[in-house]
Amino acid sequence: MAKGRDLKPHIGIFGRRNVGKSSFINALTGSDVAIVSDIAGTTTDPVKKSVEIFGVGPAIIVDTAGIDDTGILGEKRIQKSLQTIKNMDCAILLISGNDFGEFEAQLIREFNRFDVPYLIVHNKADLQPLNNETIVQIRKNTDAAIVDFSAFKAEPMDDLIESIKGTIPETAYVRPSLFGDLIGRGDIVMLITPVDSEAPEGRMILPQVMAIRDVLDRDAINIVVKETEAELFLQKTGIQPKLVVTDSQAFGYVSKIIPEDIPLTGFSVAYARMRGPFDAYAEGVKKLSDLKDGDRILMLESCTHQVSCEDIGRYKLPRWISEFSQKELHFEAVSGLNELTRPVTDYAMIIQCGGCMVTKKQIHNRLKTAMEAGVAVTNYGIAIAYLNGIYERAVKPFMQK
């Protein structure tokens, strides 16, 4: 399932076949966005739907296949449903007919494994209300919130919404600021944005656009220039920005033209602080000085895009790392949020892109297995700063906070 192009919180619907997942989603969204059928197994691969939840805002509902699916194809669908869990900000475990057993316990173990908050909804309450015996069985496994709900009657909707709001972490739908603790009203921020073959024709890439908006939201002032005009601007105006943010690919050049007393960082470094495990990135980058011949390095791209000869993750960064280490290295790349093709322990280190196209939860859980296995992880921007000998300068604005 291709995820990663929606920054809205992801809410996964999990459960056995025919517990009413599609009817539940239709009731929650107030429209017929999911196919409803009495035939078990109607939903196959996980499918995303947009929904507006009062008090939370826009969210992505992810409809998954039944955890009790059967046959060879059924096993594959189950695995896809389980793989989806780590990318969820919140999960809803749907049951019906007071049926709670090992299938549900397995899902709860997976929720806990990836630190995904969840609630339990007993659906089809109009046919068979939740009974005390089922509650006792549930409480042997979890203390999660329980809602007795009828998708057919779409009630009690208020109780359901309140339970979802109480379960999903606020950090999943409250957008953090890139520079909010670094700048204030009237401060001048210089954003250096190179234009090369990777730049989309006639527009800017998402990290640059989001940075511009973040500066405006802080009531600060944007100055946007290419790296070739940055020095000329400073010379002609005499303006000293409060902060300079550059595309990480220009770190080497920009660090030479921006005076040392002006804080300098990169778009990718800022995103690493906002969305990634920043401390792990800062420690993991040091692995670049300890690589050995034959080491395998994984480049994680959280979006899919047309690859060019100037592609940062596929060509430039691998070349720079090889030149820096003077070792014979093997590089692999995985785009989107696809599963890895080999065990994570096969890699000496993993380098994650800035992550502008994914949620914080998706990045953390994507790297969780690697960090637990002791594999070094870092981020594109932090790695490039390290390779250019300006790592300390690039992370300093955030280390002081």
CA distances from 259 to 162, 183, 230, 256 (A): 52, 18, 12, 8
pLDDT tens, residue by residue, 154-205: 899 999 999 998 898 766 656 678 887 899 999 999 999 987 656 566 677 7
pLDDT tens, residue by residue, 38-77: 444 444 456 787 777 766 678 889 999 899 988 888 888 8
pLDDT tens, residue by residue, 106-145: 999 999 998 899 999 999 999 999 999 999 999 999 999 9
* Residue bearing tokens 């007993």: 122
CA 23, CA 327: separation in Å to the nearest integer? Answer: 56
pLDDT tens, residue by residue, 169-183: 766 656 678 887 899
Q: Are strands 47-53 and 57-63 parallel, antiparallel or unpaired?
A: antiparallel
- Give the residue-averaged pLDDT of 2-25: 79
CA 186, CA 181: separation in Å to the nearest integer? Answer: 14
The per-residue pLDDT for 303 is: 66
The per-residue pLDDT for 341 is: 85
The per-residue pLDDT for 200 is: 60
Q: How confident is the model at residue 4 (pLDDT cuts 50, 70, 90)?
A: very low
pLDDT tens, residue by residue, 286-344: 999 999 999 999 999 876 544 444 578 888 999 999 999 999 999 999 887 677 889 99
Q: Could you give all domains of the chain from N- to C-terminal order, each with its CATH number?
A: 10-172 (3.40.50.300), 188-270 (3.40.50.11420), 281-391 (3.40.50.11410)
* Residue bearing tokens 């826009």: 58
Going by C-alpha positions, the residue among 317, 390, 300, 399 that lies closest to residue 354 is 300
φ/ψ (deg, to 5) at 330:
-115, 130
Burial group, residue 32, by CB count within 10 angstroms (0-12, 13-18, 19+)? exposed
CB 1 within 8 A of CB 46: yes
> Is pLDDT of 223 > 60?
yes
CB 292 within 8 A of CB 322: no
E runs forming strands in 9-156: 10-15, 47-53, 57-63, 90-96, 118-123, 146-148
The per-residue pLDDT for 1 is: 37
pLDDT tens, residue by residue, 239-286: 999 999 998 888 989 999 999 999 999 998 988 888 889 999 999 999
Q: What is the token pair recorded at 71?
A: 């046959």
Is the pTM here over 0.75, yes or no? no
E runs forming strands in 167-242: 188-192, 221-225
The per-residue pLDDT for 38 is: 45
Rounded mean pLDDT of the chain? 86
3-class DSSP assignment, residue 359 = coil
The per-residue pLDDT for 42 is: 47
> Is pLDDT of 31 > 80?
no
Q: How confident is the model at residue 2 (pLDDT cuts 50, 70, 90)?
A: very low
CA 276, CA 266: separation in Å to the nearest integer? Answer: 14
